[in-house]
Amino acid sequence: MRGQSFPGTLDSLAPIRALVLQEAAAAGLEEQARYRLCLAVDEIVTNTIIHGYTEAGRTGTVELEVWQAKGSLIVELEDTGAPCNLMERQLPTPEELERPLEERPVGGLGLFLVMQSVDVFFHENLGLKNRTLLIMQGGRETIGGGET
Amino acid sequence: MAVNVSIRVVDQTVCIQLSGELDASSVQELKGGLEQIFTTSPSRIVLELQALVYMASAGVRLLLMLKQRAGAAAQLLIVGAQGPVLQTLRATGVHHGVTLLDSLPEDLAAVPQRASA
């Protein structure tokens, strides 16, 4: 288990990705899966920083924990930003994704990429905290064990 | 790793070379500097992404913004997008509204690249 607290500012995005990449590599995730997990974490954290903190006039931290369980790699993110119910966000529809670029709505792309990237996504608001779980399930390679 | 940008103008075409990582932080740094390209109302914007190794949704939104600012009649070409960056462009449907190329169109490849950022 690896945990770290980051300032809730956009400067934290690159160090957070670096940490996730490191942990994913140590766990034996292959390259594409590492990228996808990083992307998903980045999108959630970006949403927290922009909507949960900056636009809401708040400041705070992003708490990140990474651990392995039963062949899966789990990233847990917590923040004390404004509640945002990610489970109810509208994702772009397939029709919207095919529209000419000038007619495209810009919202929802971040969460859409999260859904495309990880095996399991879970989000809840716990009163003063928002919590997100992102899980990459072990495939043919064994996360955390076995010889590579 | 942040993002590096270099811009060159060839007639009515603006070529923007992006390298490094495009996330919400680097897009925010870039945005102001990109406004200058619209003063000449380019009919074609060429994004050279050969050295771009990461693109988040903020990068996709930047592309949408570039196209929207350039207008429906303007062309957006993306050159050299690779691997996961290309996958993100396809997953978000951007490939429907741009031309994806492996290398620069001939008329631009012939012009010496002296970048002015």
Of B25, B28, B93, nearest to A98 by CB-CB distance is B93
A78-93: pLDDT as tens digits:
999 999 877 777 788 8
Asked if the ipTM is above 0.95, the reply is: no
What is the rounded CA–CA span in Å between residue A115 and residue A138?
A: 17
Q: Across the interface, do A43 and B98 touch by the CB < 8 Å criterion?
A: no
Say how far residue B69 (Cα) sits from the centre of its chain.
Answer: 13
Give the pLDDT confidence score for residue B111 in this predicted structure: 74
Task: Give B97 to chain A, closest Cα distance, Å.
Answer: 5
Q: How confident is the model at residue A146 (pLDDT cuts 50, 70, 90)?
A: very low
Task: Give A23 to chain B, closest Cα distance, Å.
Answer: 18
H-helix or E-strand spanning residue A21: helix A13-26
Specify which residues A121 forms β-bridges with.
Answer: A134
What is the rounded CA–CA span in Å between residue A100 and residue A50?
A: 27
Minimum Cα–Cα distance from A92: chain B residue? B92
Taking the model in full, what pTM does it have? 0.92
H-helix or E-strand spanning residue A116: helix A109-117
Specify which residues A73 forms β-bridges with.
Answer: A68, A136
Give the pLDDT confidence score for residue B108 in this predicted structure: 87
Q: Across the interface, do A110 and B76 touch by the CB < 8 Å criterion?
A: no
Both tokens of B45, joined, read 């914007």
Lowest mean pLDDT among A70-74, B13-17, B98-102, B108-112: B108-112
Give A55's contacts in chain B (Cβ within 8 Å).
Answer: none
Of A35, A49, A112, nearest to B84 by CB-CB distance is A35
A23-67: pLDDT as tens digits:
999 999 999 999 999 999 999 999 999 999 999 999 999 999 999
**Phi, psi values for residue A93, rounded to 5°:** -85, 160
Q: Across the interface, do A110 and B56 touch by the CB < 8 Å criterion?
A: yes
Q: For CA atoms A38, A44, A46, A48, give the dihedral sign.
A: negative
- CA distances to A39, A68, A140, B54 from A65, rounded to whole Å, are 16, 10, 24, 23
Mean pLDDT of A14-23: 96
Please determine, for residue B28, whether its predicted confidence score (pLDDT) is greater than 80. Answer: yes
Residues whose CB is less than 8 angstroms from the CB of residue A14 and which lie 6 or more positions away in sequence, other chains included: B1, B2, B21, B23, B25
